[in-house]
Amino acid sequence: DGSLIYPKKETEILTLEEIRRKLLEYTVGCIYSLCNWEFDELAYRDIKMLLLDAQAHGTKTLIVMTPYQPWVLNRFSELSAYQEILPAVRGAIATRMVQEAGVSFAFCDALDPATSGCMETEFMDGMHMQRYCAEKVMRKCLGRLDETLLSPQL
Predicted local confidence at residue 24, as pLDDT: 80
Each residue of 76-90: pLDDT tens digit? 888 877 777 878 877
- At 87, give phi and psi (nearest 5°): -60, -35
Predicted local confidence at residue 25, as pLDDT: 79
pLDDT, block means (10 residues), the chain with 154 residues: 58 76 78 77 88 91 89 84 78 73 82 92 86 93 64 44
Whether the Cβ atoms of residue 126 and residue 72 lie closer than 8 Å to each other: yes
